Amino acid sequence: MNEFDNLVAIVTGGASGIGAAITRRLGAGGAQVAVFDLQPDAADPSHFAVNVADDASVRAGVAAVAERYGRIDIVINNAGIGAQGTIADNDDDEWARVLNINVIGIARVTRAALPYLRESPSAAIVNTSSIAATAGLPARALYTASKGAVLSLTRAMAADHLREGIRVNCVNPGTADTPWVSRLLDSAADPAAERAALNARQPHGRLVKADEVADAVAYLASPRSGSTTGTSIAVDGGMQDLRLRPE
Ligand code: NAD
């Protein structure tokens, strides 16, 4: 018996990076996993073209999953986009665009899935926040505001839905080796130097692996974690809480 046998999960942003790793991990644990993504794999019937920034798209996606699988037990709100700069650098439209995906996207997907989660004996929601929510990183003002909101929203959701039997938690990854970070490195003047700087910023000296984040998400989503709600797990090589002396 696998821990996720007979359970149906939705993973937003599941076509790439951390979301793809979560999709593999939950699937390996026995879950049937539906991926919501802007760029789904058209050849994979478990992939649904869903834009979390669009309420009609989200509602149609959730209805399609419920129709196909008959239930929804787990929602992994992972889709997100980055934003660079200080508050001087992003205009109102960019603030609205990023918050709409990173924060309101979670509200949309969860709202649409709630009637199904309420029916589940093992309902769990896991949101993807970031080290940016708990540490002040330079030139990430808008992104940080969005991920701080995800961390706070996780607690509020956990309080609201505890008595309905729905647990809500989040993961806070440090800089992870995903296509997103590859794109960032590719746009740097000296990608090798930029990668070395990012590695050096991690107390454990390397980028986080997507599979390491996926294992933490699987722990939080698991029916075995029934006493864990309203909390966050940092998967960041110690960046949030450790202060090492230089070697
Ligand atoms: P990624 O770019 O590799 O994957 C993100 C996926 O989300 C893509 O497949 C993309 O198509 C999808 N997506 C984007 N906007 C969407 C939308 N509106 N609707 C549906 N799907 C959408 O990125 P990643 O590095 O795997 O990041 C995943 C999550 O992890 C994000 O929320 C990100 O903020 C968070 N995170 C990443 C890092 C990191 O260093 N990579 C660190 C901390 C947190």
Q: Give the number of domains in the chain.
A: 1
Is the CB of 154 inside a 6 Å radius of any atom of ligand 1? no
CA of residue 230 to ligand 1 center, whole Å: 22
Tell the residue nearest (CA) to atom 33 of ligand 1: 80
Q: Is 32 a member of any domain?
A: yes
Is the CB of 23 inside a 6 Å radius of any atom of ligand 1? no
231 neighbors 198 (Cβ within 8 angstroms) = no
Is the CB of 17 inside a 6 Å radius of any atom of ligand 1? yes
Tell the residue nearest (CA) to atom 34 of ligand 1: 80
pLDDT-wise least confident of 114-128, 153-167, 185-199: 185-199
Q: Is 61 a member of any domain?
A: yes
CATH number of 167's domain: 3.40.50.720
Give the nearest ligand 1 atom to 210 CA.
26
Give the nearest ligand 1 atom to 21 CA.
26
| DSSP-derived 3-state class of residue 211 | helix
CA of residue 17 to ligand 1 center, whole Å: 7
Residue positions annotated with a catalytic role = 143
Residue 246 banded pLDDT, cuts 50, 70, 90: confident
Tell the residue nearest (CA) to atom 27 of ligand 1: 18
Q: Is 1 a member of any domain?
A: no
Q: Is 141 a member of any domain?
A: yes
Is residue 244 over pLDDT 90?
yes
Give the domain extent around 231. Answer: 8-176+209-235
87 neighbors 141 (Cβ within 8 angstroms) = yes
12 neighbors 57 (Cβ within 8 angstroms) = no
In angstroms, how far is CA 235 from the centroid of its own chain?
A: 12
Is the CB of 236 inside a 6 Å radius of any atom of ligand 1? no
Amino acid at 146: S
Mean pLDDT of the chain: 97
Is the CB of 232 inside a 6 Å radius of any atom of ligand 1? no
Average pLDDT on 19-30 reads 98
Residue 200 banded pLDDT, cuts 50, 70, 90: very high
Residue 210 banded pLDDT, cuts 50, 70, 90: very high
Cβ-count burial 61-80 (b if 16+ within 10 Å, e if not): bbeebbeebeebbbbbbbbb
Q: Is 156 a member of any domain?
A: yes
CA of residue 245 to ligand 1 center, whole Å: 33
Q: Kindly report the length of the chain.
A: 247
Average pLDDT on 48-58 reads 98
Q: What share of the chain has pLDDT > 70, as a percent? A: 100
Structure confidence at residue 247 (pLDDT): 80
Structure confidence at residue 146 (pLDDT): 99
Structure confidence at residue 214 (pLDDT): 99
Q: Is 194 a member of any domain?
A: no
Tell the residue nearest (CA) to atom 3 of ligand 1: 17
Q: What span, in angstroms and rounded, lies between the C-alpha atoms of 99 and 205?
A: 31
Q: Is 16 a member of any domain?
A: yes
Q: What is the pTM of this model?
A: 0.98
CA of residue 1 to ligand 1 center, whole Å: 31
Q: What span, in angstroms and rounded, lies between the C-alpha atoms of 115 and 200?
A: 45
Residue 138 phi, psi dihedral angles, 5° rounding: -70, 145
Q: Is 91 a member of any domain?
A: yes
Is the CB of 14 inside a 6 Å radius of any atom of ligand 1? no
Is the CB of 183 inside a 6 Å radius of any atom of ligand 1? no
Question: 187 or 109: which carries more pLDDT confidence?
Answer: 109
Average pLDDT on 35-51 reads 97
- DSSP H or E stretch at residue 140: none
Average pLDDT on 88-96 reads 98
CA of residue 5 to ligand 1 center, whole Å: 26
Average pLDDT on 153-182 reads 97
